[in-house]
Structure 1
């Protein structure tokens, strides 16, 4: 199965595999060449309800590609945190939702040597090769069947294991920058106006390309605070780059939203509607006070 076949036959693509296997590269290619919207799914705060979050993601319109998913929680939760925040029953339900959305599950693999080299190039650190060889890929297939979260109905689509076409750690992934047309949220090769959703995706792709922070939410909030300070200084001193500093503030907000699996455009639209429906009146001090509540308040 190649990317043309994936894009032609599936409206939803869930990509799994260990770090360095090429998940983000494939997701970016599906977005750039076939109009998929990429949703990166890093580790989320414990307060986030994962089953509900993934159901909301799968309810989005259009073509979606998930860079990691609830399957990662089933694997890494017990391995690193002592337990999964998603049950097998919930995983089966989510798998059915993917299938009902014309979905496919892709599992990317690469040799231990390639994985280690890619991680060193990207993160400047990687587990020792001996450890990588023991854990990925297995040297032989176990005769013991693995437990699968997928429903066993006849309509179930099997997981496809895809080795990288270029098993070369130095192979370039190609340009990822592209313009986005507003309205549909689907990328185009040139021209167009960038909307909030498209800007969030482009900003995230740039962070991946440059190797910037994509996992440390507190750090990102700290950097956002610094950018707000720079924007204030630019405004106070009438610097010509005031608009650019405001843009930096937005891009950090977009990054925080992406880290937490939020579509910032949807959140902004919802908040604007909520604020519009509120009614205010001035009190005896001339301060606007809300006098009506929305259903969500």
Structure 2
């Protein structure tokens, strides 16, 4: 599957990936394709970390969310020894994205944090049982920042839909 096919099939995209990857070129392309962009890197709600996501997912139209929930599942255990998001909440979130004709977009490449990369792979392999996961090789972040159009073209060549198992 190439990027433009994913964009025509999905009404909701949640962009996730390890720290250090430049999401700006992809988010700019999504905005150009009439996705409403909503960043959610703010602090998660202490009682219900999925609340802001549920509110966003209830809005009409095409939506692209700049991650946060999967990020917490990955970095919470790596940095604090535990995640503030439970697996039940994460799976409910994944199903809500899928019901909204959506997918998780997993950005890869350009990071040396192998522990986080492996954690993202484990988390997204689990979530892929409930929502499509599209993996994009973002390549070198500096190249993407200096030439967004070329970076988006490269992303379209490297996209694949992970199997739902």
TM class by smaller structure: 0.7 to 0.9
Of Structure 1 and Structure 2, which has the larger fraction of its residues in strand? 2
Q: Give the equivalent residue in structure 1 for 2:158.
A: none
TM-score (norm 1): 0.43
1:159 corresponds, among 113, 127, 133, to 133
Aligned residues: 144
Which sections of structure 1, spanning at least 5 residues, go unmatched? 113-131, 139-144, 175-297
Superposition deviation, residue 25 in structure 1: 2.2
Conservation of the 8 A alpha-carbon contact between 2:95 and 2:131:
no
TM-score (norm 2): 0.73
**What does residue range 1-297 of structure 1 map to in structure 2 within 5 Å?**
1-31=1-31, 33-44=32-43, 47=46, 49-112=48-111, 132=112, 134-135=114-115, 146=122, 148-150=125-127, 152=129, 156-164=130-138, 167=140, 169-170=142-143, 171-173=146-148
Which sections of structure 2, spanning at least 5 residues, go unmatched? 150-165
Bigger radius of gyration among the two: 1
Superposition deviation, residue 136 in structure 1: 6.4
Aligned-pair RMSD on alpha carbons?
2.6
Say if 1:85 and 1:137 are closer, same or farther in 2 by CA, change over 3 A.
closer
Higher relative contact order (CA 8 A, sep 6+): 2
Superposition deviation, residue 45 in structure 1: 5.4
Distance in 2 of aligned mates of 1:93 and 1:73: 15
